[in-house]
Structure 1
Amino acid sequence: MSDNHRYLVYADGSPFFWLGDTAWELFHRLNRDSCLLYLDNRANKGFTVIQAVILAELDGLHTPNAEGHIPLIHDDPTQPNEAYFQDVDWVIQQAAKRGLYMAILPTWGDKVYTDRWGIGPEIFNSRNAYQYGYFLGKRYRHQWNIIWILGGDRNPRNERDVDTWRALAKGIEDGVGDEDSCLMSFHPQPNDAGGSAAWFHKDAWLDFNMLQTGHCKDDPVYRQVIYDYGLTPVKPVLDGESLYEDHPVCFQPDKFGFSTAADVRKKFYWDLFSGAFGITYGCHDIWQFYSSAHVGINHPQRYWYEALDLPGSFQAAIVKKLMLSRPLVSRVPAEDVLMGDTLSGADHIVATRDADSNYMMVYTPTGKSFSVNLSVLRARQIRCWWFDPRNGEAKEIGEQTKPEIYYAQPPSSGYGNDWVLVIDNADADFPPPGTSPLKKVNDQTE
């Protein structure tokens, strides 16, 4: 955790940017060759975290994985199948070789309660959840690239559910044997009460809050991030599942069509500039690893391997490069610097700035003009850029004496013509936005 408890950092204090991908069925549906194809693609793009589920959603208990193994004997969490977990071991180790962290869900939530949908069956209670958690924690206690995510698309309904998740968390911590080396969060369903914070914000095991903001197009996800950002005690916040690329918008393809890279990209910036410490990309074809061997869930558009290079996956990596090209852990939301109407719907404009007053960024999703109060910038001379989220190009506007108000007219406008205005303290001598060298991660440096 960073000193201000807003970000994650490496052991040497350098910033860690969570660039996640939802690969929920990875352990369940991919054979080893396919797994390497997927991991290589994500590592080469600059992703840092792969989010996957051990007891998978799509009949993960009874349909064997691609190697022919089921995870549990007699659906008993206290009787893990060693052959299946050796397959899990292999995936984790291959991710580590590529510098990738695994954000692992011990189970999808339907194994705790189906709650209106889900294959299940319900197999967990607080006793066996602890035992299963202890098994996982002990098995992977020396594996450096694991982050634990409980929940699995479910919100607790009552104290029994809360107790079961807490028992799972306690089991993992006890199995690891060192709470400080056991990073953990909770993946909820969309809700209006702060995501994971609604039940677990003050629990010591919950190291950062996670939201799921859902699969509609212009929902104001920034409000949920801002809410969690303002909670005490202070904890980092992340949107762990937002609108997937290639997803039927609001699950209604006949009415709203399918999401595009522009729809997905917009939410990256809304999340980040409102206080999130990273982003999670998702592709509807990839989370389920749709192929000719499987029935598609909710209208996938193409096989998973054909979707690996959709534009949104490249543009997610561009976001990471932009954010790491400026000091990250001192970055704060900056809605107060925007003058006048910040607009609503698809046009909503957001801003972020350096708490040390050396830079500011403003995102306009549709190229609408805006005005910014620059009094918080500690500079006499400023250097300004237009950054293109579609291709990562930075166009220098130039250097000038800092005005009190900066009036900005983006290079183009209309849906999909989003732009980031970057305003630097000229004396800071930052490189062009998006061009700083990225931290190289491998199992030796960890």
Structure 2
Amino acid sequence: MKSWILVTVMLLSSLVSSAQKPFSKGRLKVSDNQRYLVHRDGTPFFWLGDTAWELFHRLTKQEADVYLKHRASQGFTVVQAVALAELDGLNEPNAHGARPLHNNNPTTPNEAYFQHMDFVIDKAAEYGIVIALLPTWGDKVFKDKWGKGPEVFTTSNAANYGEWIGKRYKDRENIVWVLGGDRTPRKDSEDLTVWRLMAEGIAKGAGGNKEVLMTFHPQPNGLEMGGSSHWFHNDPWLDFNMLQNGHCRDEITYDKISFVYNRKPARPVLDAEPIYEDHPVCFNAADLGTSNAYDVRKFAYLDLFAGAFGHTYGCHDVWQMYGEGRAPVNGPHMSWKNALDLPGAKQMTFVRRLMESRPMLDRVPDQSLIEENNNGPSDRIQATRGKDYVFIYSSAGRSFTVNTGKITGKELTAYWYDPRKGEAITIGNFPNAGKHLFKPPTSGYGKDWVLVLDDAKMGYGFGGVKDGRKLN
């Protein structure tokens, strides 16, 4: 056990060290197979995001540094944050007393506010973190009940604002652009035109579509199953698709990921707002309780194995940067600083560790690997594979039968990977032919496991310990 503690510490240190390197490998782009993100030199990039929507609006420079440093130490690679923030972000000044726009006019931005954003974005870069930057939350385009900002963007100013903010951050290599801000474009309105004009403006200001990555953050209903792809899949500015699951416990987001994954042309896809940790389930804590670590990690594995290129974690106390003197939104339980170390956040480290332990860019979803694959979210089994490895997630430790022969090698090495601890347990070796039944070490609510099958000759192992911990 002591050796495993040492290995875990070494792995965490490795994650921190790699995260803190500058962007020497270049800004991000879509991989050649149109399924993943890579650096300009081709190095794979795993999107492990956190939703910090109020980062620019509510935190001081010192607090932002604390937050970013901590998330980097946990292995997060992306932070999703909003320039014109949701919680009265136009009228309530930021932590240093500046509002983003003069007279709420997008054509007259306030330099002091954006200098603060400059600092936070540059600090993120120091820690190796990409900022998934929303130029505005959706209520600045829509007049509705969610959010407090007035509707300030129109077809006459969206492109100008986009060009201005795109030009401002064109030289920051740690920027990915996210339009939308939790909104469904209204039917028979100018909403789609506004977003498209803003996207064109950003691309123009930043030097062209090839120099930026852009996507769209939708509402959970997303019209059918497509999320951002429903409106923008064929738009030249959209580089990858986003979904949101709506903060309910048993959403079939993995099927929505699969639906978008299979659209043509191929584009990367991920769940950019799953159920948050410590959030009222379906906004109904009285009847359904509050989400926990199992809820959030389950969606990470199900979505990734269904074809997502990365995953975003979220915490209810953190997205709103809740603290003393702040009006609570939907019942947060603790300050954002205390919430940084909730169990689900720590377990995201293990998600990233597993996904980066094998070649990422040839990984594909493949439910034909398993026979028991028609269960709901509470008992779902989801499978994915590369050329020489297989990952199968059993969300409640249910046994399953594997159809082998779908990866290279005559012999397979099998492990159980524990999503709670990030430890691997060696099962043994099996022929890469026929059907094999696997029974996880434990089963029931919260007893999820990942089966790992490797082409035995590859010797991938885990964390420098080739055979992991033996299964008793």
TM-score normalised according to structure 1 size = 0.95
1:321–1:435 Cα contact (<8 Å) kept: no
2:53–2:82 Cα contact (<8 Å) kept: yes
Which has the larger displacement, 313-322 or 112-121? 112-121
1:14 equivalenced with 2:47 (yes/no): no
Structure 2 counterpart SS, 1:57:
coil
Q: Shift of residue 435 of structure 1?
A: 7.8
**Letter matched to residue 100 of structure 1:** I
1:272–1:279 Cα contact (<8 Å) kept: yes
Match of 1:252 in 2: 284
Question: Which of the residues 102, 105, 112 maps onto 1:83?
Answer: 112
2:373–2:380 Cα contact (<8 Å) kept: no
Distance 1:341 1:27, change over 3 A: closer
Give the Cα–Cα distance (whole angstroms) in 1 for the partners of residues 327 and 355 of structure 2: 38
Structure 2 counterpart SS, 1:39:
helix
How far does the alpha carbon of each residue in 1:332-364 deviate from its partner, in whole angstroms, 9 at most, with x for none?
A: 00111111454223001100011x2x1111000
Match of 1:424 in 2: 454
2:412–2:432 Cα contact (<8 Å) kept: yes
Give the Cα–Cα distance (whole angstroms) in 2 for the partners of residues 94 and 11 of structure 1: 21
Give the Cα–Cα distance (whole angstroms) in 1 for the partners of residues 193 and 297 of structure 2: 37
Q: Shift of residue 58 of structure 1?
A: 0.3
Match of 2:324 in 1: 292
Q: Shift of residue 117 of structure 1?
A: 2.7
How far does the alpha carbon of each residue in 1:249-278 deviate from its partner, in whole angstroms, 9 at most, with x for none?
A: 000000011000001110001100000000
Match of 1:443 in 2: none
Gaps of at least 5 residues in structure 1 are 437-446
How do residues 131-280 of structure 1 correspond to structure 2 at under 5 angstroms?
131-158=160-187, 159-191=189-221, 192-280=224-312
Question: Which of the residues 75, 90, 97 maps onto 2:126?
Answer: 97
Give the Cα–Cα distance (whole angstroms) in 1 for the partners of residues 107 and 264 of structure 2: 36
1:243–1:282 Cα contact (<8 Å) kept: yes
1:121 equivalenced with 2:147 (yes/no): no
Percent identity reads 52
Match of 1:441 in 2: none
Structure 2 counterpart SS, 1:71:
coil
Q: Shift of residue 228 of structure 1?
A: 0.3
How far does the alpha carbon of each residue in 1:147-193 deviate from its partner, in whole angstroms, 9 at most, with x for none?
A: 00000000101340000000000000010113211100000001233
Match of 2:336 in 1: 304
1:398 equivalenced with 2:438 (yes/no): no
How do residues 13-92 of structure 1 correspond to structure 2 at under 5 angstroms?
13-92=42-121
Q: Which runs of 4+ in 1 moved over 6 A?
A: 433-436
1:212–1:242 Cα contact (<8 Å) kept: yes
TM-score normalised according to structure 2 size = 0.90
How far does the alpha carbon of each residue in 1:338-395 deviate from its partner, in whole angstroms, 9 at most, with x for none?
A: 11454223001100011x2x11110001101000100212221110000000010001
1:217–1:259 Cα contact (<8 Å) kept: yes
Give the Cα–Cα distance (whole angstroms) in 2 for the partners of residues 376 and 43 of structure 1: 36
**Letter matched to residue 132 of structure 2:** A
Distance 1:435 1:2, change over 3 A: farther
Structure 1 counterpart SS, 2:257:
helix
Give the Cα–Cα distance (whole angstroms) in 2 for the partners of residues 427 and 114 of structure 1: 59
1:365 equivalenced with 2:370 (yes/no): no
2:279–2:291 Cα contact (<8 Å) kept: yes
1:392–1:434 Cα contact (<8 Å) kept: no
1:334–1:352 Cα contact (<8 Å) kept: yes
1:322–1:435 Cα contact (<8 Å) kept: no
Match of 1:442 in 2: none
1:127–1:167 Cα contact (<8 Å) kept: no
1:346 equivalenced with 2:378 (yes/no): yes
**Letter matched to residue 167 of structure 1:** L
Structure 2 counterpart SS, 1:423:
strand
Q: Shift of residue 399 of structure 1?
A: 1.9
How far does the alpha carbon of each residue in 1:213-245 deviate from its partner, in whole angstroms, 9 at most, with x for none?
A: 110001111111001001011100011000000
**Letter matched to residue 166 of structure 1:** R
Give the Cα–Cα distance (whole angstroms) in 1 for the partners of residues 55 and 269 of structure 2: 25
Gaps of at least 5 residues in structure 2 are 1-29, 467-472
Give the Cα–Cα distance (whole angstroms) in 1 for the partners of residues 146 and 174 of structure 2: 32
**Letter matched to residue 156 of structure 2:** R
Give the Cα–Cα distance (whole angstroms) in 2 for the partners of residues 250 and 118 of structure 1: 18
Structure 2 counterpart SS, 1:415:
coil
Aligned residues: 434
1:318–1:392 Cα contact (<8 Å) kept: yes
Question: Which of the residues 386, 401, 407 maps onto 1:377?
Answer: 407
